[in-house]
Amino acid sequence: MSPLTIRLAEYSREGGQEQKRGYNARMVVPPPGSPEARKGILVIHLDLLGPTRHLNRHLRHLLNIIQSTYYTTPGTIRSTLEYAIQEAHRTLLDINKTIEDEKDHYLCNASCLVLHEDDVYLAQVGAMTACVRLPDKLRWISPLMDESDTPYPLGMERPIRTYITHIPAVQPGTTFILLDSGWLNQIEVESFRRALQMQDLDAMLRELARDVDSPHLSALALRVEEEEETARGEREEREGEGESFTQKLAEHVRTVTERLLPEEEDVEEMEEEFTMPEPPPVRTPRAWPFRRRPVSLPSLPWKRLLWGLVVLIPLLALLIAAGVWWHHGRQQEQLYQSALTQAAAALQKASATDDQELARQYIHQAELAIRQAEEIHPGTEEIERLKESLRNSRLRVERIIPLYVMWPLAELPSGDWTRVIVHEQDIFLLDREGDRVVRYTLDDTGKHLQKKDPQPLLQRGDVVGDRPVGDVVDMSWLPAGLATRVSGIVVLDGAGALYTYDSRQGTQPLPFARPENWQTPIRIATYGDRLYVLDPGANAIFRFNPTDKGYTQPPENYFSSPVQLDAAIDLAIDGHVYLLFADGRVLRYFGGEQTPFVVDTTLSLPTAIVTDEMIQHLYIADAGNQRILILGKEGEQEGKLLAQLVPGEGFDVDFSQVRSIFVTENEDDIYILTNAGLWKAPIPVSHQTP
């Protein structure tokens, strides 16, 4: 099959007037061969609601945020796409904080489509809808189809969920239509039937909009076609016009027929085997900030009413209102008592079962019942007791352990603090932005530092031996052995030079045989006095064996067969090698071969993984979920979630910003490093038995 390209059309209506182009959409086609090209093509479609005065300016800002964050953040397409949308959400929250009147706050529904080789990822937030025209059917994709959740838009002080659909393949002729919230409740099957028969995408969108009376509409239409040789040459000269597509698109999407039955029993076929399902319905309109169609009431023949009725109407209205109010109050009280009973029963069942998944279901039932009761009588003692019981049940079932004892050790200056290592009283920190390593020293209590200001140990530009220090990459603890006679930290710079530091001899160079296929090293680790360097660019972990002069022998590639490490971000070694990936995967290797290891929880934007031969468990900083995980490594506990460490109430530490963690040998204490500061906490022992 010839390479595929895309034909793109846009429809925009503002204030009832059709616009030549909107300011709410963008298609980014990176130049071939550029680093960004590895992330594929990005299509952004925003539905920003709020005061019109600064609307276009905020739209451009949000488009820039999503584009730049997506292409500059390392990781998988799915994880970086979700991170880019969360960045847009945080940006919109910051904008809203500057607006005093809450009714003038900006809210944004969003669709982002990434086209990369044979894969497509469609990310949606809020009241957005997409339909895919496949050769034999029409399929709908929308957060509104998830009846178990409310798809809140960006900019709301609510948890924002990004709905991501993976579409693994496409054929020429496939058409995508992305619709904003202005289409809700107004999508007609017959309009789509007529429109999708059209070859001209602009005419298709105009036909779709013809029967929609909303004054504000926006839609994108994308069609996949085989690329002609001449068009291929033109496309290479038109990098910024969005005329290219990657390679294939969509089939594996969730259809409305998988979730809902069509409202009509008989649907005429558009072609011989073409099925036309109903579009997704709109639930609870107040839950989403979409634009509503104006409603006008028909005139009533009041002139024919008798004057006597005019006098009686107020009296009748009072009587009816009183009756309705009494009946409503009685009904609400019954609902309130029923909700309390259901919540208490569900919590009792959750406490009685040893089945974790079943307990989660009971907790969810209790939470829904408590919400229902709270809507009727908020803040009652019964509800507060149930909420406390719900919290305790959730902590037990989810194995959440709040850190009620935490000691703030240091507030850190601006930088990119990516590594903490602790040895006895010494604390070593690495700042990638400042390309430096510093040392703090604990006092005798172990809860405070001896001095507020750190001791600088190594910084870019320092001359150590006969060479200047380059960009500081990472550091690890190196025990005394063949390569060095004294234990201390070992630091790697980007130029391929090693340096050691110990309190007796200070900072010294350590001979190092940089490998020829050296690309982008990001992490180092030691096992015994062997040195391991993680280089995702080279798809390798270089293993260096020590000599009496340092690490002067060429390294081995740890892996016995080719691996893909472009999304790897950290490693830990206890005899096995554990690799942590930006998309949340954790892989385990032994002797260069992968061994089975399954983590029974889902990670989001993880940042660090820690273990060694003296630590019985695996620790992972799961920043996206604002927690630190403790996992089992062996036997029945292998890969099992034993505990989730979270900040205790009253501690101002943000676990979504954790960059590095360090666990002491006996797992007594954990050190937590963020870009804002360094914390120490004793590890509760309750995770030892699940």
At residue 581, the pLDDT reads 97
Q: Which residues contact 29 (CB under 8 A, 6 or more apart)?
A: 41, 239, 240, 241, 242, 243, 244
Domain boundary among 359, 381, 398: 398
Is residue 414 located within the same domain as residue 463? yes
Q: Is residue 301 part of a domain?
A: no
Reported as a pLDDT band with limits 50, 70 and 90, residue 323 is low
The average pLDDT across 478-498 equals: 95
Reported as a pLDDT band with limits 50, 70 and 90, residue 268 is very low
Q: Considering only 12-16, 271-275, 489-493, which range has the smallest mean pLDDT?
A: 271-275
pLDDT(510) > 90: yes
Q: Is residue 554 part of a domain?
A: yes
Structure token digits, residue 396:
């037990």
User: What is the C-alpha to C-alpha distance for residues 326 and 560, in angstroms, rounded to an integer?
Assistant: 77
Q: Could you give the C-alpha distances from 519 to 346, 410, 532, 540, in angstroms and in order?
A: 56, 34, 15, 10
CATH number of 51's domain: 3.60.40.10
User: What is the C-alpha to C-alpha distance for residues 75 and 582, in angstroms, rounded to an integer?
Assistant: 5
Reported as a pLDDT band with limits 50, 70 and 90, residue 307 is low
pLDDT(557) > 60: yes
Closest CA to 638 of 609, 618, 611: 618
Q: Is residue 230 part of a domain?
A: yes
Closest CA to 271 of 393, 134, 403: 134
Is residue 462 located within the same domain as residue 556? yes
Is residue 107 located within the same domain as residue 209? yes
At residue 435, the pLDDT reads 96
Instruction: Write the pLDDT tens digit of every residue in 46-95.
Output: 999 888 888 888 999 999 999 989 988 877 888 889 989 999 999 999 99
Structure token digits, residue 177:
């239509």
Cα of first residue to Cα of last residue in the chain, in angstroms, is 54
Is residue 367 located within the same domain as residue 425? no
Structure token digits, residue 535:
């280089």
The average pLDDT across 627-634 equals: 96
Collapsing DSSP states into helix, strand and coil, what is residue 491? strand
Beta bridge partners of 609: 620
Is residue 356 located within the same domain as residue 439? no
Instruction: Write the pLDDT tens digit of every residue in 374-432.
Output: 888 888 999 999 999 998 998 888 899 999 999 999 999 999 999 999 999 999 999 99
> DSSP alpha helices (H): ranges in 128-259?
189-195, 201-210, 229-237
Reported as a pLDDT band with limits 50, 70 and 90, residue 355 is confident
The average pLDDT across 278-293 equals: 43
Is residue 416 located within the same domain as residue 336? no
DSSP letters spanning 132-152: EE-SSBEEEE-GGG-TTS--P
Q: Is residue 391 part of a domain?
A: yes
Q: Is residue 203 part of a domain?
A: yes
531 phi, psi to nearest 5 deg: -115, 135
Reported as a pLDDT band with limits 50, 70 and 90, residue 102 is confident
Q: Which residues contact 562 (CB under 8 A, 6 or more apart)?
A: 539
The average pLDDT across 98-123 equals: 87
Is residue 331 located within the same domain as residue 478? no
pLDDT(526) > 60: yes
At residue 189, the pLDDT reads 67
Q: Is residue 219 part of a domain?
A: yes
Is residue 369 located within the same domain as residue 412? no
The answer to whether the beta carbons of residues 458 and 470 sit under 8 Å apart is no
User: What is the C-alpha to C-alpha distance for residues 287 and 242, in angstroms, rounded to an integer?
Assistant: 35
Q: Considering only 129-138, 148-157, 587-596, which range has the smallest mean pLDDT?
A: 129-138
CATH number of 570's domain: 2.120.10.30
Q: Could you give the C-alpha distances from 146 to 149, 254, 324, 367, 546, in angstroms and in order?
A: 6, 10, 35, 19, 57
Q: Which residues contact 474 (CB under 8 A, 6 or more apart)?
A: 418, 419, 430, 491, 492, 521, 522, 523, 524
> What is the extent of the structural domain holding 604?
402-684
Distance, CA of 635 to chain centre: 31
Reported as a pLDDT band with limits 50, 70 and 90, residue 178 is very high
Q: Is residue 291 part of a domain?
A: no
Instruction: Write the pLDDT tens digit of every residue in 432-473.
Output: 999 999 999 999 999 999 999 999 999 999 999 889 999 999
Is residue 571 located within the same domain as residue 667? yes
Is residue 411 located within the same domain as residue 497? yes
User: What is the C-alpha to C-alpha distance for residues 622 and 643, in angstroms, rounded to an integer?
Assistant: 12
Domain boundary among 375, 398, 421: 398
Q: Which residues contact 652 (CB under 8 A, 6 or more apart)?
A: none
pLDDT(623) > 80: yes
Domain boundary among 257, 273, 296: 257
Considering the chain, what is the average pLDDT of its residues? 83
Q: Which secondary structure element, helix H or strand E, spans residue 10, and what is its range?
A: strand 4-14
Reported as a pLDDT band with limits 50, 70 and 90, residue 142 is confident
Is residue 377 located within the same domain as residue 461? no
At residue 160, the pLDDT reads 86
- The phi-psi region of residue 506 (left if phi > 0; otherwise alpha if psi is between -120 and 50; otherwise beta) is left
If one counts the domains in the chain, the total is 3
Q: Is residue 290 part of a domain?
A: no
Is residue 350 located within the same domain as residue 432? no
pLDDT(243) > 50: no
